[in-house]
């Protein structure tokens, strides 16, 4: 059964580790992340962007697929199904479809509007026992065609959003979605520290988990980050493994064209990446 991310993240924050959110794109991806979580006794969050939701034939399809897998694969570790960077409308669509967690990304609105919409969703999610992630300060890079510059959030605005009763808060601290440019300035730990001082026990979320050096991840966890999002790294590793398989010509020989065989190296690569991240985040054996 899907669970809200609240309990797993409160435990992570108190225990000084982070739970990974791994974004899913198809059945293979989802199965790979769930298998890895179960094999490593780790809680996990499956992230779904609006674009991935559309690609996978809608939120209801995803809920059906994930619930089916939890049952048929005998998954016993805590799993949350979470809308990533949701608009106001899509939060409602996911709540209706049966997601256990949503992110409302109101960071592009003026703070008053972000506060008003987040407040409304806090009440809706609380009534249904779902977790809600809010965002302050846009996160850089490109995701689903939306490009942000990676600003640092205002800690006082973070406190205002946290005080509404959201489950977790994503705050821009110089992080960027996708690959980091060579001249990246790194994470602003000063901003993160100020945010954590003002938001107390609230689990903080680090987006753009691809390519952040391990020491920075560990420092971010020590300053209150309890959820780390990873997307691009799984995509890169999947694409690279698939490219190698095709270049080796195996898809043209024997039964190598069988999609189950063709996608298998990519699936193994995702599993390896997810396990490596779980090790770095410290979530193994924390289910
Ligand atoms: P990356 O694609 O950089 O791993 O970021 C993922 C993310 O933050 C999803 O919200």
pLDDT tens-digit series, residues 168-193? 999 999 999 888 888 888 899 999 99
In a domain, residue 286? The reply is: no
Residue 204: per-residue pLDDT: 98
| Pocket lining: 137 vs ligand 1, CB cutoff 6 Å | no
Instruction: Report the domain count for the chain.
Output: 1
Element (H, E) at 107: none
In a domain, residue 38? The reply is: yes
227 DSSP β-pair partners: 19, 205
Give the pair of three-digit tokens for residue 184: 């990246």
Residue 183: per-residue pLDDT: 82
Residue 251: per-residue pLDDT: 64
Element (H, E) at 48: strand 44-49
84 in catalytic set? yes
Low-confidence residues of the chain, pLDDT below 70?
Answer: 142-150, 250-253
118 DSSP β-pair partners: none
Q: What angle do CA 221, 8, 114 make, to 5 degrees?
A: 75
Residue 137: per-residue pLDDT: 84
| 286 CA distance to ligand 1 middle (Å) | 23
Residue 256: per-residue pLDDT: 74
Residue 253: per-residue pLDDT: 67
In a domain, residue 178? The reply is: yes
In a domain, residue 180? The reply is: yes
**Which ligand 1 atom sits closest to the C-alpha of 103?**
10
In a domain, residue 135? The reply is: yes
| 39 CA distance to ligand 1 middle (Å) | 23
The parent domain of residue 251 ranges over 6-281
In a domain, residue 207? The reply is: yes
Residue of 216, 231, 234, 276 to test ligand 1 pocket, by largest number of atoms within 8 Å of CB: 231
pTM: 0.96
In a domain, residue 287? The reply is: no
Residue 148: per-residue pLDDT: 53
In a domain, residue 226? The reply is: yes
Residue 179: per-residue pLDDT: 85
Residue 71: per-residue pLDDT: 98
Beta strands 79-86 and 101-104: pairing type? parallel
Question: How much of the chain is in helix, strand and coil states, percent to nearest 5?
Answer: 50, 20, 35
Which residues fall within 8 angstroms of residue 114, CB to CB, at 6 or more apart? 106, 107, 134, 136, 161
Where residue 245 sits, what CATH number does that domain have?
3.20.20.70
Q: Are 81 and 101 in contact (CB under 8 A)?
A: yes
């Amino acid at each position: 059964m899907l669970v809200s991310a609240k309990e797993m993240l409160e435990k992570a924050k108190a225990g000084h580790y982070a739970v990974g959110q791994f974004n899913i794109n198809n059945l293979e991806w989802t199965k790979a992340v769930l298998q890895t979580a179960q094999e490593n006794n780790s809680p996990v969050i499956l992230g779904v962007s609006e674009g991935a939701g559309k690609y996978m034939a809608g939120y209801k399809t995803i809920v059906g697929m994930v619930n089916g897998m939890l049952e048929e694969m005998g998954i016993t570790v805590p799993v949350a199904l979470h809308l990533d960077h949701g608009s106001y409308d899509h939060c409602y669509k996911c709540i209706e479809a049966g997601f256990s967690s949503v992110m409302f990304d109101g960071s592009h609105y003026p703070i008053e509007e972000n506060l008003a919409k987040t407040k409304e969703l806090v009440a809706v999610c609380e009534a249904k026992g779902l977790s809600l992630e809010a965002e302050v300060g846009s996160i850089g890079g490109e995701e689903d065609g939306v490009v942000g510059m990676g600003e640092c959030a205002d800690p006082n605005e973070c406190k205002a959003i946290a005080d509404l009763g959201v489950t977790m808060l994503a705050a821009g601290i110089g992080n960027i979605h996708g690959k980091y440019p060579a001249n990246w300035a790194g994470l602003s730990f000063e901003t993160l520290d100020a945010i954590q001082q003002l938001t107390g026990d609230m689990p903080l979320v680090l987006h753009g988990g691809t390519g952040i050096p391990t020491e920075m991840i560990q420092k971010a966890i020590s300053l209150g980050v309890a959820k780390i999002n990873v997307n691009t790294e799984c995509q890169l590793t999947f694409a690279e493994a698939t490219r190698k398989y095709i270049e080796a010509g195996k898809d043209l020989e024997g039964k190598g064209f069988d999609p189950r065989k063709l996608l298998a190296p990519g699936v193994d690569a995702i599993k390896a990446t997810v396990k490596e991240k779980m090790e770095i985040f410290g979530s193994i054996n924390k289910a």
